[in-house]
Chain A
Amino acid sequence: MNNPPLSQEQLAAAISSAATPSKLFDILSPYEEEAYLLSFQDNRQAELLSQFYAAYFLSHLLTDQIYEARFLTKRMPQDLLQTDDSLQNCVALLRAIWQHKHESVYTILRELPWPDTLKPIVQIYDTYFQEKTLREVSRAYETIRPATAASYLGLDPAATERGDPATIGKLMAHGWTQDEQTRLLHPNTVVDDSQQDDQLYNDLSEIMALIGSRRG
Chain B
Amino acid sequence: MAESVQQIISLSSHLHSPNLLSETDYVNRVQELVAILRRSSQSLLSETVLTDLSPHEHTLPYLFVLLHQIDLARSRTRSALPDDIKPGGRLWSPAVQFLREFKGPQVHFAGHEWRQLVNMILDAAEDDSKPVLAVCVLSGAIMRIDQNVCEFTSLHPRFLRLCLLSQSYSYALPVLDKHISSSHTSLEQPARGDNRYMLALNHDANDFIAEAPDISARLTHKDIAQYYLYGAMIYMTLKEWDKALHWLSIVISFPVVNSVSKVMIEAFKKWVLVGLLRHGKLVTAPKIISSHVMKIYQAVARPYLSLADAFEKSDEQRLRTEADLGKSVWCADLNSGLVRQLFQAYDMFLVLKLCRVFSALTTRDIAAKAASSGLVSSAKIESLIAFLVMSGVLGARLLQRPCDLSLSMLRFPKSIQPYCSRSRMRVGLMRKSHALELLSHNCGECNNELKIGRENIDVLVRCQGWSGVTGKGGGKGSIDHAAFGVDEDIMGDLS
Contact = CB atoms under 8 A, between A and B. Distances in A.
Direct chain A–B contact by Cβ atoms under 8 Å: yes
Interface of A: 1, 29-30, 32-33, 36-37, 40, 65, 67-68, 71, 74-75, 100, 133, 136-137, 139-145, 148, 182-184, 192-197, 199-200, 203-204, 206-207, 210-211, 214, 216
B397 A142 contact: yes
A193 B421 contact: yes
Nearest to B130: A36
B402 A194 contact: no
A75 B411 contact: no
A107 B247 CA distance: 41
Given A37-B133, A137-B386, A207-B436, 9 more contacts: A68-B170, A75-B168, A141-B400, A142-B411, A145-B405, A194-B423, A195-B422, A203-B433, A210-B437
Given A33-B132, A193-B423, A148 B400 contact: yes
B303 interface: no
Contact of A75 (B167, B238, B433): B167
B88 A40 contact: yes
Contact of B402 (A30, A184, A204, A216): A184
A141 B167 contact: no
A200 B400 contact: no
B481 to A, nearest CB: 14
A100 B387 contact: yes
Given A67-B238, A75-B168, A210-B436, A200 B136 contact: no
Given A67-B237, A194-B423, A143 B399 contact: yes
Contacts of B239: 67
3 residue pairs, one from A and one from B, having the closest CB atoms: A136-B390, A182-B402, A140-B389
A197 B237 contact: no
A200 B436 contact: no
B87 A37 contact: yes
Interface of A is mostly: helix
B430 interface: yes
B474 to A, nearest CB: 12
Contact of B167 (A74, A100, A210): A74
19 contacts: A29-B136, A30-B136, A33-B133, A37-B133, A65-B170, A71-B167, A71-B168, A75-B132, A137-B386, A140-B385, A140-B389, A143-B401, A145-B405, A182-B402, A183-B402, A192-B421, A197-B422, A200-B422, A210-B433
Contact of B400 (A133, A184, A203): A184
A193 B96 CA distance: 47
A197 B429 CA distance: 13
A184 B397 CA distance: 15
B243 to A, nearest CB: 14
B133 A199 contact: no
Contacts of B432: 207
A192 B166 CA distance: 40
Nearest to B405: A145
A71 B165 CA distance: 11
Interface in B80-124: 87-88, 96, 100
A207 to B, nearest CB: 4
Interface in B28-43: none
Given A36-B132, A75-B132, A100 B383 contact: yes
B169 interface: yes
A71 B130 contact: no
A25 to B, nearest CB: 11
Contacts of B430: 203
B54 to A, nearest CB: 11
A29 to B, nearest CB: 8
Given A33-B136, A71-B237, A75-B168, A141 B130 contact: no
A68 B169 contact: yes
Nearest to B436: A210
Contacts of B399: 141-143
Contacts of A133: 390
Contacts of A206: 433
A139 B387 CA distance: 11
B153 to A, nearest CB: 23
Instruction: Specify which of B167, B390, B391, B475 lies most central, judged by the most chain A CB atoms within 10 Å of its CB.
Output: B390
A141 B398 contact: yes
B100 A1 contact: yes
